[in-house]
Amino acid sequence: MRRIPSLFVIAAALSGACAPLPPQGGGIDVGAQSDQWMVRWDPELRTPTSLVNRSLAGAPGGSGTVAASDSLAEAAVREVFRERALWFNLRPGLDDFRVVRSYTRGWLRYLRFEQTYRGVSVAGAGYEANVLANGRVGSLEGRYHPGLSLDLQPLLTAEQAENRARALYSPGAPPPVSVPTVQFEIENGFRDRRVLAIVPIARRYVLAWGVVVVQALRNDHARVYIDARDGTPIARQTVGWVEPR
């Protein structure tokens, strides 16, 4: 993840944006504790790519300070999502976030949230948040795809998708050049060798099986995304650790 600067300016005023924009150089003053969020927007998705809590400049912390617990930090971040639901165009019962990683650096707790649509992961989408020891959210950075609407019923089984992927990436054969390589900014919590996910690709969203195979002519692994409805390979991604069989 990129390191977030201590201060962001509003990147651009979006026509019809969900949240009112402050005067130039100001923050968005919301919340019981007067959190002032400096927001950077994605120009195409029209959702936040980063939120920095400007009111926490000079917040206490340091040696001997204990990081917030997982439960406290998660609750704090989810409160930000809830209070700023219009910024993300969150729809109850459809859009949500799932925690896939939690770790600490000194007195800061970091949480990684993946985006889900009807419980299915959106590959590469979500936010990484840092939370202070007192439970206040310092910042979030990532990407969110709003307004998803697609059929989540696969026509291929996971086994069929795996057979298709292995046929394309058989040992000794060069990989198909027509399959684009992707590298997502947010790493989802994919640990299994076969996962069902929504993959943003070429300005569209595809329900796909992500299948781990050994990359031909190379000594590493790739997750090959196979369209779960017609069996077309749509992308591949180099991966590291996966769940052993």
Evaluate whether 137 touches 149 at the Cβ level (below 8 Å). no
Check residue 181 and give its pLDDT: 85
Residues whose CB falls within 8 Å of the CB of residue 153, separated by 6 or more in sequence, listed in order:
none
Identify the pLDDT of residue 233.
93
Segments of the chain with pLDDT less than 70? 1-34, 57-63, 171-173, 175, 185-189, 215-220, 240-245
**What does the pLDDT read at residue 50?**
96
DSSP three-state, residue 8: coil
pTM of the model: 0.79
Domain locations in the chain?
28-143, 158-239
Length in residues, the chain: 245
Beta strand segments in 69-203, E = 95-105, 108-117, 120-131, 137-143, 194-201
pLDDT per residue over 90-138, tens digit each? 999 999 999 999 999 999 999 999 999 999 999 999 999 999 999 999 9
> Are the C-beta atoms of 197 and 182 separated by less than 8 Å?
no
Q: How many CB atoms lie within 10 A of CB 20?
A: 7
